[in-house]
Amino acid sequence: MRESSTNELLQIMEQQYSSFSKGQKKLADFIRDNYDKAVFMTAAKMGAEVGVSESTVVRFASQMGYKGYPGFQTALEELVRNKLNSIQRMEVAYGRISQSEILQTVLQSDIDKIKQTIACIDQPAFELAVDTILNAKRIYVVGIRSCAPLAEFLSFYLNLICDNVTAVHTNSASETFEQLIRIGGEDAIIGISFPRYSMRTLKALEFASNRKAKVITLTDSPHSPMNLYSSCNLIAKSDMASIVDSLVAPLSVINALVVALCMKKQKDVITTLETLEDIWDEYQVYSRDELNHVSDKI
């Protein structure tokens, strides 16, 4: 069966259009002109919208080589993820919910993304990522724009576990390559990017791959361009159609990665934390008033 990719759906419809029945042509026309709305429709709803039966919609999906309507809808999601601009994404996402439903809807969506990530995560790839990081001489972490906080968070905790961790700052392309200039075959780079994908992050991974470094990616799909240069792909679901990127699931994967690394290097991590506690106390890094509970007694 066919797997979805970024522009494959539109290409298939164009190639097969002349062989479609009248009802299938109506479906193809509707999807081409309204894919941002079609992605949220069930087979029955799409059929009602176009004026064909639900079974016609399901056969249409199967005829194009997808695993029934669910596989076809996955292809639609890939198309929407890469085609919509920020304004269109906001219109699609927030046009579906009322003001009073926003909190519950957004939180439930984040819960769903974590559940989807649990269902699709590649455990061997996760274990490979842990081993790759532990065996690397130097570790570089790159993520820009909305992914920058994820990269900083991961870098902060990696620095407590491993030596020679670099959070690559990407204010400019030249600055990125200057920080990666010494990367080599004994090193590893972790690239984090979600739609709309960062070309600067992709170029950093390409550069690292050309220097024979191990490349680990954290992204949203096996079809993400970030995986072009990666030998270890961690997939976490993000919000596919919203002005605000949902990065709850990627953060959960990062948390799991940090915990797994800590378990592998328990003694080293405990020693590091004990040393830090002594330093924090000596230099009064944290206020005791902030750390201790306030007594209820007057």
DSSP assigned state of 182: T
Q: Cis omega before residue 196 (within 30°)? A: yes
Helical residues (DSSP H) of 39-172, grouped into ranges:
43-50, 54-63, 68-83, 86-94, 102-120, 123-135, 148-161
pTM above 0.75, yes or no: no
Length of the chain in terms of residues written: 298
pLDDT given at position 257 = 97
pLDDT in tens, 148-177: 999 999 999 999 999 899 999 877 667 888
pLDDT in tens, 76-129: 877 776 665 555 555 555 555 566 777 887 888 889 889 989 988 999 999 999
CATH number given to 8-83: 1.10.10.10
**What angle, 0 to 180 degrees and rounded to 10, lies between the N-to-C axes of helices 266-282 and 248-264?**
100
Residue 189 phi/psi, 5-degree rounding, is -125, 135
Domain locations along the chain: 8-83, 117-281
**Which tokens in the block code for residue 171?**
């204010």
CATH of 117-281 given 3.30.2130.10, 3.40.50.1110, 3.40.50.10490, 3.30.200.20: 3.40.50.10490
Residue 48 phi/psi, 5-degree rounding, is -65, -40
**Which tokens in the block code for residue 43?**
């087979």
